[in-house]
Chains A and B, each alone.
Chain A
Amino acid sequence: MGAFTGTARLARLALRRDRVQLPVWLVALTVTVAASASSVTSLYDTEQERRSYALTNAGSAVSRVFNGGLAEPSAGAIAMAETFSFAGVLIALMSLMAVVRHTRQNEETGRAELVGAAVVGRYAMLTAALLVTVAANAVLALLLAGALVAAGLPVAGSLGAGLAFGAVGTAFAGIAAVTAQVSQSARGANGLAGAVLGLMFLLRGIGDGLAEPTDGGLRVVSLWPSWLSPLGWGQQMQPYTGGRWWVLGLYAAFFAAMVWTAYRLTDHRDVGTGMMPVRRGPATAPRGLLSPFGLAWRLQRGVLLGWGAGVAVMAVSMGVLGDEAEELLGGNEDLEQYFAELGGGGANLVSAYFATITALFGIVITGYTVQALLRIRAEETGPLEAVLATAVSRPRWMLSHITCAVLGTVALLLLTGLGHGLSYGLVAGDMSQTPDLLGAALAQLPATLALAGVVVAVLGLLPRWAVALSWTALIGCLFTSQLGPVLELPQAVMNISPFTHVPYLPVADPAATPMVVLTAVGAALIAMGIGAFRNRDLAL
Chain B
Amino acid sequence: MTDAITVSDLTKTFGDVRALDRLNLTVRAGEVHGFLGPNGAGKSTALRVLLGLLRRDSGEVRVLGGDPWRDAVALHRRLAYVPGDVNLWPNLSGGEAIDLFGSLRGGLDKARREELIKRFKLDPTRKCRTYSKGNRQKVALVAAFASDVELYILDEPTSGLDPLMEAVFRDCVEEARRAGRTVLLSSHILAEVEALGDRISIIREGRIAESGTLAELRHLTRTSMSVETARPITGLDALSGVHDLHVDGTRARFQVDAEQMGAVQRHLAELDVRTLTSTPPTLEELFMRHYGDRPEPPGDRDAEATAARAGRA
Q: Does A215 contact B (CB under 8 A)?
A: no
Q: Does A8 contact B (CB under 8 A)?
A: no
The CA of A290 and the CA of B106, in the complex, are separated in Å by 10
Q: Does A340 contact B (CB under 8 A)?
A: no
Q: Does B306 contact A (CB under 8 A)?
A: no
Complex interface: stretch among B86-94, B215-223, B252-260: B86-94
The CA of A462 and the CA of B125, in the complex, are separated in Å by 37
Q: Does B105 contact A (CB under 8 A)?
A: yes
Q: Which residues of B contact A198 (CB under 8 A)?
A: none
Q: Does A1 contact B (CB under 8 A)?
A: no
Q: Does B287 contact A (CB under 8 A)?
A: no
The CA of A536 and the CA of B52, in the complex, are separated in Å by 10
Q: Which residues of B contact A282 (CB under 8 A)?
A: 93, 95-96, 125
Known interface pairs A278-B127, A391-B104; A284-B53 also in contact (CB < 8 Å): no
Interface centre among B72, B88, B94 (most CB of A within 10 A): B72
A284 touches B101 (CB 8 A): no
Known interface pairs A290-B99, A385-B83; A391-B73 also in contact (CB < 8 Å): yes
Q: How far is the CB of B92 from chain A (nearest CB, A)?
A: 7
Q: Which residues of B contact A289 (CB under 8 A)?
A: 92, 96, 99-100
Complex interface: stretch among A93-101, A114-122, A292-300: A292-300
Q: Which residues of B contact A538 (CB under 8 A)?
A: 48, 53-54
The CA of A281 and the CA of B93, in the complex, are separated in Å by 5
Q: How far is the CB of B157 from chain A (nearest CB, A)?
A: 13
Identify the closest chain B residue to A185 (Cβ): B129
Identify 19 new A-B residue pairs, CB closer than 8 A, beyond the known A383-B88, A392-B73: A108-B129, A278-B126, A278-B127, A280-B125, A281-B91, A281-B93, A281-B94, A281-B125, A283-B95, A284-B99, A285-B95, A285-B99, A299-B89, A382-B89, A388-B51, A389-B76, A389-B153, A391-B106, A537-B54
Type the 1/0 row for B23-62, where 1 means its CB is closer than 8 Å to any CB of A: 0000000000000000000000000100111110000000
Q: Which residues of B contact A19 (CB under 8 A)?
A: none
A537 touches B55 (CB 8 A): yes
The CA of A283 and the CA of B123, in the complex, are separated in Å by 8
Q: Which residues of A contact B98 (CB under 8 A)?
A: 285
Q: How far is the CB of A252 from chain B (nearest CB, A)?
A: 36
Interface residues of B: mostly helix, strand, loop or mixed?
Answer: mixed
Q: Which residues of A contact B89 (CB under 8 A)?
A: 298-299, 382-383
The 10 tightest CB contacts between A and B, nearest first, are A281-B93, A285-B99, A389-B81, A390-B104, A285-B96, A283-B95, A382-B87, A390-B105, A290-B103, A280-B125
What are 14 contact pairs spanning A and B, CB under 8 A?
A: A280-B93, A281-B96, A289-B100, A290-B103, A385-B53, A387-B101, A389-B83, A390-B76, A390-B104, A390-B106, A391-B74, A392-B76, A537-B53, A538-B48
B77 touches A391 (CB 8 A): yes
Interface residues of A: mostly helix, strand, loop or mixed?
Answer: loop
Q: How far is the CB of A380 from chain B (nearest CB, A)?
A: 10
The CA of A389 and the CA of B84, in the complex, are separated in Å by 13
Q: Does A495 contact B (CB under 8 A)?
A: no
Q: Which among B80, B104, B130 is the interface contact of A290 at CB below 8 angstroms?
A: B104
Quick one: which of B193-233 are within 8 Å of A by CB? none
Interface centre among A279, A284, A536 (most CB of B within 10 A): A284
The CA of A292 and the CA of B100, in the complex, are separated in Å by 9
Q: Which among B104, B129, B153 is the interface contact of A387 at CB below 8 angstroms?
A: B104
Q: Which residues of A contact B126 (CB under 8 A)?
A: 278, 280-281
Q: Does A241 contact B (CB under 8 A)?
A: no
Q: Which residues of B contact A285 (CB under 8 A)?
A: 95-96, 98-100, 103
Q: How far is the CB of B261 from chain A (nearest CB, A)?
A: 41
Q: How far is the CB of B136 from chain A (nearest CB, A)?
A: 10
Q: Which residues of A contact B100 (CB under 8 A)?
A: 285, 289-290, 295
Q: Does B161 contact A (CB under 8 A)?
A: no
Q: Which among B80, B81, B104, B153 is the interface contact of A392 at CB below 8 angstroms?
A: B104
Identify the closest chain B residue to A280 (Cβ): B125
Q: Which residues of A contact B72 (CB under 8 A)?
A: 388, 393
Type the 1/0 row for A385-420, where 1 means its CB is closer than 8 Å to any CB of B: 111111111000000000000000000000000000
Q: How far is the CB of B146 from chain A (nearest CB, A)?
A: 12
Q: How far is the CB of B166 from chain A (nearest CB, A)?
A: 21
Q: Which residues of A contact B106 (CB under 8 A)?
A: 390-391
Q: Does B140 contact A (CB under 8 A)?
A: yes
Identify the closest chain B residue to A382 (Cβ): B87
Q: Which among A108, A280, A302, A386 is the interface contact of B87 at CB below 8 angstroms?
A: A386
Q: Which residues of B contact A383 (CB under 8 A)?
A: 87-89
Q: Which residues of A contact B125 (CB under 8 A)?
A: 280-283
Q: How far is the CB of A426 from chain B (nearest CB, A)?
A: 38
Q: How far is the CB of B109 from chain A (nearest CB, A)?
A: 13
A393 touches B73 (CB 8 A): yes
Q: Does B241 contact A (CB under 8 A)?
A: no
Q: Which residues of A contact B81 (CB under 8 A)?
A: 386, 389
Q: Does B311 contact A (CB under 8 A)?
A: no
Q: Does B124 contact A (CB under 8 A)?
A: yes
B76 touches A279 (CB 8 A): no
The CA of A298 and the CA of B99, in the complex, are separated in Å by 14
B129 touches A281 (CB 8 A): no
Quick one: which of A183-242 are within 8 Å of B by CB? 184-185, 187
The CA of A386 and the CA of B55, in the complex, are separated in Å by 16
B93 touches A292 (CB 8 A): no
The CA of A202 and the CA of B130, in the complex, are separated in Å by 33
Q: Which residues of B contact A108 (CB under 8 A)?
A: 129
